[in-house]
Amino acid sequence: MASKIGREPMLDMFIFETLQQLEELEQIVISSEKTNGLTESAISEIFRIMHTIKGSSAMMLFNNITSLSHSIEDLFYFIRNDKPQNLDNSELADKVLESVDFIKVEMNKISNDEDVDGDAMSLIEDIKMFLAQLKKDNPAVKIQDEIQIIKKETSQKYYITQSKIQPLVEKNTFKAIILYQSGCEMENIRAFTLIHNLKELTDEIWYNPSDIIDNDSSVDIIKRDGFRVLFKCEKTVREMNSFFEQIPFIEKLELEEVSYEDEIDQFLEKRKIVLEDSIFNIEKAEKNKDSATERDIQIGSTGQSIISVNISKLDKLMDLVGELVISEAMVTQNPDLRNLVLDNFQKSARQLKKITTELQDVVMSIRMVPISTTFLKMNRIVRDMSKRLDKEVKLQLIGEETEVDKNIIDHISDPLMHLIRNSIDHGLESTTKRVASGKSETGVITLEAKNAGGDVLIQVKDDGAGLDREKILKIARSKGLFNKPEKELTDKEVYSFIFLPGFSTNDKVTEFSGRGVGMDVVVKNIQNVGGSVSIDSTPNVGTTITLKIPLTLAIIDGMTIRVGKSRYTIPITNIRESIKVEENSVIKDPNGNEMVFIKEQCYPILRLHRHFKVNTNITDITKGIIIKVEVDDKALCIFADELVGEQLVVVKALPKYIKKIKGVEGCTLMGDGGISLILDIPGFLNNQ
Amino acid sequence: MKTVLIIDDASFMRLSLKTMLERNGYKVIGEAENGAVGILKYKELKPDIVTMDITMPELDGIRALKHICNYDPNATVIMITSMGQKTFILEAIKHGAKGFLVKPFKEEHVVETMKKLQI
C-alpha cells in the first residue's frame, strides 16, 4: 500500500506498525490452531499485540479499533491469568481473526483517507459474551494462597525512626485541597505520588480520601471534592507553594496554614483495614525474576540488527543511484574523450565504474525482501477456504527465502490470493471424490518461488482434478475466442483461454469465484509489473500456474540498437541471438509479410524503421542486423541498422504528457545525453 | 536543550512522543524497544530524561526503571502507562519514577508534566 506524499509520518507509522502486528497475530492464531491450543507465550503475545494496538489507535483517536482491541485484550488477560479449562480454541481463534479482519478493513479506510466508520459493537458484544461464559464456567479461584498483609490506617505519623532523631524545630501545620485537571486520569495515583513526594519533607501527613491505592472510587471523590491533605513540616507557606507548583496536572490548589487541632478530625476516618496484597505480590514476583535480569540484558544488547526505513527514502536512493549510473557513463563515455589515449584516466574510470556498479547492486538489494511475508499471508486464505468449503487442504511453501523487489511484492499478493482461492475452490476435488480416485484426503497446494535468470518464478500448484480441455474449448468456441484453427491449439494455449476476461467454466457462481473476473485481473496485475502468466495441467493430477516476474522494475540490462538517428533498447532477457542474414534466408508469406529462416525455424520480421517511421539508409535486409527476440513460446525477428552496445539502463516511464506508444514501454538516457526508447517486446509479440 | 531517551516497544508510540517532545524544545537522543536495550542506552547516552513504557518484551518498564534508578539515583524517568496498570504505576513511583502519563495522552499533557517537573 503506497504511502501518500504529504501524509503525516505518524499516520504512516501507525498503519505500518499495526498492519505488521496484525500479520503476526494472524500467524500466531493459525499455527496455534494447527497444534491444537494456545501456548502461554502465544497468549502473552496476543495480549501484548492487542494492548499495543489499543494504545496506538487511542492516540490516533480511532475509537472503534480501540474498543475492539480492548475487548480482546480483556479476554486474553483473563485467559492468561486464570488459565480457564475447556477453552474452545476454534471459537476463540474465529473471534480473534474476525477482529483482525475488522481492524484490517478500518486500516484500509485510513490508508485511503476514508471515514473510519466501521461498527464493531456486535463483534465486541460477542467477545464480551464469550468472556462472560468463560468466567461463569471457570469461577475465579479465591485468593487463598496470596498472603494478605493487614496494615493499620494511621500507622504513619508519630514515630521516631532509628536513624533520625525528631528535630526540635517548630513545625507549621498546613492544609491543602488539590483539584486535578480534567482528563489527566488516575487521579488517585497522582494523589499517591503527591504523598510520596511529600514524605520526603515530613512524615506527619494525613489525607482524605485515605484509601487511594485500593479503592478506585476514590478517583471520583478526588474529582468531586478534591484531594485533601493535612501535614506538618518546618517549611514556610511560600516554600510549600513552590513545592506544589512542581506537581503536574493541578488545576486548583488551596493551601493555607492552619491549626492542627482544628482540622485533624476531618482527616481521621474510622480505622480501615488496607490490603496491600496486590503490591506485595508484585514484589514477590519481582524477586523471582530478578535473577533472570542479567541474562535479559545480554539478550537485549544483540537485539538491534534491523531498522525500518521509509519506502520513499529508498525510492529516492534508487533514483539517485540510477542517475549516478547514467552520469558515470556520461563521463567515461564522453564524446570529447573519443580517440584520445588516456591510460591513467581509463584506469580511474574503470575503478569508478566498478564502485558504481557495486553501489547499484547494494541499493537494489536493499529493496529486495524475501517473499516469505507474502507466502505466509496465504495461510489465512487456505485456512478460511478449507473451513468454509469443508475440504482438507495443506499449504506447502518452497523457496520463501527468495527475494523480490519491495515494489513487486505489493502487486503479487492479491493475484496469488486469487489463484489459491481458485485452486481450492475449483482445482481441488471434494474429499469423497479424492478418496474415490485414490488420492490422499488432504489436498495439497504448493507455493514455490525460485530465481531464474533475471526473473523470479512463482508457481501455484495443486494436486486436484486438472483442467478440462474439452470444457474450455467448448466455451472458447461459443465465445469465438480462437485466433488459430482449433486443431493447431496446443494444450497450453487452450488452458491459457481461462485468462481471458469474462471466461469462466463454472456453472455456478460462488462467493469466492465463478464470475470470470478474476483470472484476467491476475494476468493484468502481473503484466503491469512486467511479468507473465502461464498455465499447465494434467487431468486428474493437477494444475500448475507459473508467474514470471522480473527481479526489478527500474534497472535492466539492455542492448541498444540504432535505426537511422534514433536509438532503441531491447531488454537482454528477451534477446536470443543477433545475426546478419543472407538474401536467400528471407521469404515472403502468402500475406506479403517478410519471414526469415533461422536454423530451420521461420520467424516474422519486424522492420523498426517502418514501424516507427524513421528515416534510415539501411533498408536492405542484408545490410542491417536481425535480432531474434522471444517471450515464452513466441518469437520475432527485429530488423535494425546496427547494434550499439550492451549496458545497464535505468528505465524511466514515458512522461505523462505522451500517450502510450505501441511497442514502447519506457525510455532511458544514454551516456551522451541522448534518449533511447525501450521496446516492449511482449507487446510486439502479442500483436503478431 | 534537555535530552530524552524514549523506551517503548511500539514504534508508533516512540514516534508520537518524539514528535511531541521535539515540538516543545526537547531533543530525543535515543530510542529503545525494550527495557534491556533501554538500560544499555541510558548508560551510553546519559540522557536528562527517560520516558518508559511499562509493557515491553525482554525486560519490562518497572524492572528497567529499577535498574536505571539504582545506577543513577538522579535519573528522571517518566512512566507511560495505560488505564488499568495502577499497581505498576504505584510500584514505579515507589522505585523512583518522577511522574507518569496515561495513554492516550495529548501533547499538552506531555508539556504539563515536563514543565512542572522542571525538566
CB contact under 8 A, A59 and B15: no
pLDDT at A258: 87
Spell out which residues of chain A touch residue B100, defining contact as CB-CB under 8 Å.
186, 189, 193
Residue A193, chain B, CB below 8 Å: the answer is: yes
The answer to whether residues B62 and B54 touch, using CB atoms and an 8 Å cutoff, is: yes
Task: For residue A586, give the C-alpha cell.
Answer: 528471407
The answer to whether residues B97 and B109 touch, using CB atoms and an 8 Å cutoff, is: no
Secondary structure element (H or E) that encloses residue A230, with its range: strand A227-233
Secondary structure element (H or E) that encloses residue B103, with its range: strand B99-103
Q: How many A×B Cβ pairs under 8 Å?
A: 131
Residue of A nearest to B104 (CA): A59
CB contact under 8 A, B10 and A56: yes
The answer to whether residues B49 and B76 touch, using CB atoms and an 8 Å cutoff, is: yes
Mean pLDDT of all residues belonging to chain B: 91
Q: Where does the pLDDT of residue A505 fall: very low under 50, low under 70, confident under 90, or very high at 90 and above?
A: low
Interval A626-654 mean pLDDT: 85
CB contact under 8 A, B116 and A184: no
Q: Kindly report the nearest CA distance between residue B116 and chain A, in angstroms.
A: 4
CB contact under 8 A, B115 and A248: yes
Q: Percent of chain A scored above 70 by pLDDT? A: 85
pLDDT at B71: 92
pLDDT at A40: 87
CB contact under 8 A, B12 and A184: no
Interval A507-512 mean pLDDT: 56
Residue of A nearest to B97 (CA): A193
Spell out which residues of chain A touch residue B115, defining contact as CB-CB under 8 Å.
248
A87-96, A304-313, B8-17: which has the minimum mean pLDDT? Answer: A304-313
3-state SS class at A688: coil
Pick the residue of B12, B51, B119 with the most A CBs within 10 A to test the interface with A by mutation: B12
Q: Percent of chain A scored above 90 by pLDDT? A: 28
Dump the DSSP string for A489-543: --HHHHHHGGGSTT----SS--SSS-SS-SHHHHHHHHHHTT-EEEEEEETTTEE
Q: Kindly report the nearest CA distance between residue B46 and chain A, in angstroms.
A: 17
CB contact under 8 A, B100 and A282: no
Q: Where does the pLDDT of residue A302 fall: very low under 50, low under 70, confident under 90, or very high at 90 and above?
A: very low
A17, A183, A192 ranked by CB distance to B10: nearest: A17
CB contact under 8 A, B36 and A186: no
Q: Where are the beta strands (DSSP E) in A506-654?
A: 532-538, 542-550, 555-563, 566-571, 575-579, 586-588, 594-598, 601-607, 625-631, 634-640, 642-650
Interval A294-298 mean pLDDT: 37
pLDDT tens string A573-622: 889 999 998 888 888 888 888 899 888 888 999 999 999 999 988 888 88
Residue A506, chain B, CB below 8 Å: the answer is: no
The answer to whether residues A318 and A364 touch, using CB atoms and an 8 Å cutoff, is: yes
Spell out which residues of chain B touch residue A24, defining contact as CB-CB under 8 Å.
none
Interval A96-119 mean pLDDT: 92
Q: Quote the DSSP letter at residue A234.
A: S
Reported pTM? 0.61
User: What angle do helix axes A372-389 and A406-422 make, rounded to 10 degrees?
Assistant: 20
pLDDT at A25: 94
> Does the pLDDT of residue B49 top 90, yes or no?
yes
CB contact under 8 A, B11 and A289: no
pLDDT tens string A651-668: 777 776 777 778 888 888
> Does the pLDDT of residue B48 top 90, yes or no?
yes
CB contact under 8 A, B116 and A248: yes
Interval A371-377 mean pLDDT: 86
Q: Kindly report the nearest CA distance between residue B98 and chain A, in angstroms.
A: 8
HEC sequence for A249-268: CEEEEEEEEECHHHHHHHHC
pLDDT tens string A141-167: 544 333 333 333 333 444 444 444 445
CB contact under 8 A, B55 and A51: yes
CB contact under 8 A, A185 and B102: yes
CB contact under 8 A, B35 and A300: yes
Residue A244, chain B, CB below 8 Å: the answer is: no
Place of cell 518469437: A635
A137-151, A182-196, A320-334, A617-631: which has the minimum mean pLDDT? Answer: A137-151
Highest mean pLDDT among A6-20, A500-514, A551-565, B8-22: B8-22
CB contact under 8 A, B67 and A293: yes
pLDDT at A1: 40
Q: Which residue has the higher pLDDT, A313 or A132?
A: A132
Q: Where does the pLDDT of residue A508 fall: very low under 50, low under 70, confident under 90, or very high at 90 and above?
A: low
Interval A477-484 mean pLDDT: 76
pLDDT at A7: 62
The answer to whether residues A43 and A76 touch, using CB atoms and an 8 Å cutoff, is: yes
B37, B99, B117 ranked by CB distance to A300: nearest: B37
Mean pLDDT of all residues belonging to chain A: 81
Q: Where does the pLDDT of residue A291 fall: very low under 50, low under 70, confident under 90, or very high at 90 and above?
A: very low
Spell out which residues of chain B touch residue A278, defining contact as CB-CB under 8 Å.
87
Q: Quote the DSSP letter at residue A557.
A: E
CB contact under 8 A, A17 and B109: no
* C-alpha–C-alpha distance, residues B47 and B31, integer Å: 11
> Does the pLDDT of residue A321 top 80, yes or no?
yes
Place of cell 487456505: A382
> Going by DSSP bridges, is the β-strand pair A150-152/A455-462 parallel, antiparallel, or unpaired?
unpaired
A14, A246, A301 ranked by CB distance to B117: nearest: A246
Dump the DSSP string for A322-382: HHHHHHHHHHHT-GGGTT---HHHHHHHHHHHHHHHHHHHHHHHHTEEETHHHHHHHHHHH
Q: Where are the alpha helices (DSSP H) in A159-276?
A: 187-198, 218-225, 237-245, 260-267
Residue A248, chain B, CB below 8 Å: the answer is: yes
Residue A309, chain B, CB below 8 Å: the answer is: no
3-state SS class at A171: coil
CB contact under 8 A, A296 and B93: no
> Does the pLDDT of residue A413 top 50, yes or no?
yes
Q: Which residue has the higher pLDDT, A167 or A195?
A: A195
CB contact under 8 A, A246 and B118: yes
Interval A394-418 mean pLDDT: 85
Interval A635-660 mean pLDDT: 83
Q: Which residue has the higher pLDDT, A7 or B60?
A: B60
Spell out which residues of chain B touch residue A200, defining contact as CB-CB under 8 Å.
none
pLDDT at A501: 72
Interval A413-422 mean pLDDT: 87
